[in-house]
Amino acid sequence: PDPSEFIESCAALVAPGGALVMSTLNRTAKSFALAILGAEYIGRLLPPGTHDWKRFLTPHEIRNAMEKAGLDVSAPSGLVFNPLALQPLSSPQAWHLSSTDTDVNFIMHGVKPLRTQAA
């Protein structure tokens, strides 16, 4: 499916004043190295072939699709894994939000504007 069509379909279900939150992997060399090579082939945390780097989306692509769907979009935040936390991947202590590092995982949200009444 086309990501823009998917986002448009999701946004159509959001009530005025409601939010749509999207999270995905960024299409960067760093995401290829960490999410595919590191997690699938080196760390064996996921089965090889789980991710298709060509289908990863950039924050710019998500923003454009959300804005096209009529949402007011916030800046992305990175979801950053900290291997030095020595915690399982599922542990909240292993992850943190970043306002600057969106190179691998990121999250964005858009809000559907409230309807204005004609005067």
Question: Could you read off the pLDDT of 99-111 as tens digits, one per residue?
Answer: 999 999 999 999 9
Cβ atoms 102, 76 nearer than 8 A? yes
pTM for the whole structure: 0.84
Q: What angle do CA 31, 33, 34 make, to 5 degrees?
A: 65
Q: What is the largest CA-CA distance in the chain?
A: 62
Q: Tell me: the pLDDT tens digits for 29-74?
A: 999 999 999 889 998 888 999 999 999 999 999 999 999 999 999 9
CA–CA gap between residue 33 and residue 79 (Å, rounded)? 16
